Amino acid sequence: MLTDFLLLMKQELLLVAIIFILVFIKLGSKERSNESLLNAINILLLINLIAGIFNSQTGTLFGDMFNTNQLFIFEKNILNFGVLIISLQSYDWLKKHKHLIEFYLLLLSALLGMFLMLSSNNLLMFYLALELSTIPIAALCNFDLEKRKSSEAAFKMIISSAFSSGLLLLGISFFYGTTGTLNFAEIPATLNGNALQIFSFVLLIAGFGFKISAVPFHLWTADVYEGSPISVTSFLSVISKGAVVFVLVSVLYKVFEPLSEYWYTILFLLSLLTMIIGNLFALRQQNMKRFLAFSSIAQVGFILIGISGQSLEGTASVVFFILIYILSNLAAFGVINLVSSKCDKESIGDYKGFYKSNPQLTWVLTIALFSLAGIPPTAGFFGKFFLLMAGAAKNNYLLITVAALNMVIALYYYLRVIKAMFMDANENPIEKIKIPFQPKLAMIICVAGIIILGIYSNCYQYIFSLIK
């Protein structure tokens, strides 16, 4: 029993261990340099990532409350990887920060919440894990302590997520009322599609929609992304979103499979709205963070298309896309993070003539944006192509056509940034930035990943094999 517990919850327990280590360091801390502390934490996170990959077991625990399988383990590894990258990228910002241990405590608690959410096998457990993954982030949003916008972001985040959690909890209560069970394994047999079930299901979907910022549940996104420190923004837009998408896929496919005609319609409507509105807003953003925020909303629309395919390919293409999305988005955020922490410049106009002073960073950002826009042979193209391919299984040509059109609009605004960096002249360009080792390492990993995943194909097949 104890070995089961240790092995099955290995990834969660590792996180808990790191959190405790950090608490002890904090309590016992005298005078320690931030640099060495950050390096130690990064090494811990690396150990955590490596330990998570090897020797994984599958099964259930705690009377069916917690279950894990190969796909979940892989997804958790992706999230671990993303957090490590973010941590490396935040080096420059955090080394000047007074409360860096608290930053990691909150970050890892949220990650723990996501792991539990992925593995939850019960609606109540799911709800608790969701809250655990949300509330620390709201505190993180406030981490630019002297900036007013940062507090505003945290405030908006907590209010909106409280509202969405409230409705989600209402949905779960109604659900329990009609089905009499909260266990994922037992729910499918009790679903009959009556009005109350549909009502509670819509509330549930809205909760998911809030977390992945699908339109019209997305409005908090831009303000929160803009106000938060960039490290938190990238965590929100990449890790948090990725985790919820993973959960959404497995919950919809396994638990709510009998209601698939309803959720297909919901996904269809949401993805249309999300792609269109996300792109239209992204078109005229002047702030890099807001720009990426809206473009990442549009990306969610594409993910929803893949989910709507309702097949093994659907799951595989979504997981594959999230992996690529993490790499591409983090590469972009990495550059923006560095520029912001060194020069405090965030608007697209500031990036004019960026190529002249920082050719390396410009290339990183260009490759990342190409991948986000889905231009072959970057990995992003394959990610999008597979999503569309999975979605095409439903023969919904309207959706595919709108998606294709949105790819062009997206290309337009991504090119706008690239054009500014390469071609526009600027009298007051961003000065030459010296890149510290940690962010450089993170960027190299991301860019290599974007290119390798585009060329080397076994990754998709590996994910596919995990699902069977």
Where does this chain bind other proteins (CB under 8 A)?
155-156, 159-160, 163-164, 167, 195, 198-199, 202-203, 205-206, 209-210, 215-217, 219-220, 222-223, 262, 265-266, 269, 277, 280-281, 283-284, 312-313, 375-377, 381, 385-386, 388-389, 392-393, 397, 400-401, 404-405, 407-409, 411-412, 415, 419, 422-423, 457, 460-461
Host H or E run for residue 445 = helix 437-455
What are φ and ψ of residue 397, in 5° steps? -70, -30
Tokens representing 430 are: 């961003």
Q: 53 burial class (0-12, 13-18, 19+ CB within 10 angstroms)?
A: middle
Residue 342 C-beta: closest distance to other proteins, Å: 26
C-beta neighbour count of 436 within 10 angstroms: 16
Kindly report whether the peptide bond that precedes residue 216 is cis, defined as omega within 30 degrees of 0.
Answer: yes
CA–CA gap between residue 267 and residue 259 (Å, rounded):
12
Residue 254 C-beta: closest distance to other proteins, Å: 20
CA–CA gap between residue 178 and residue 174 (Å, rounded):
6
How far is CA 439 from its chain centroid? 19
Tokens representing 50 are: 């490596």
Distances (CA, A) of 357 to 62, 169, 287, 425: 57, 52, 20, 12
**Which CB sits closer to other proteins, 45 or 154?**
154
Distances (CA, A) of 337 to 41, 67, 271, 289, 348: 19, 37, 29, 10, 14
Residue 205 C-beta: closest distance to other proteins, Å: 8
CA–CA gap between residue 107 and residue 110 (Å, rounded):
5
**Which CB sits closer to other proteins, 145 or 219?**
219
CA–CA gap between residue 408 and residue 463 (Å, rounded):
29
Q: How many CA atoms lie within 13 A of 230 on its CB side?
A: 31
**Which CB sits closer to other proteins, 87 or 164?**
164
Residue 454 C-beta: closest distance to other proteins, Å: 10
Residue 295 C-beta: closest distance to other proteins, Å: 14
**Which CB sits closer to other proteins, 197 or 340?**
197
**Which CB sits closer to other proteins, 375 or 441?**
375
CA–CA gap between residue 452 and residue 454 (Å, rounded):
5
Q: Is 59 helix (H, G, I), strand (E, B) or coil?
A: strand
The residue with tokens 């965590």 is: 235
**Which CB sits closer to other proteins, 167 or 441?**
167
CB of 335 within 8 A of CB of 351? no
**Which CB sits closer to other proteins, 284 or 432?**
284
**Which CB sits closer to other proteins, 104 or 281?**
281
**Which CB sits closer to other proteins, 11 or 362?**
362
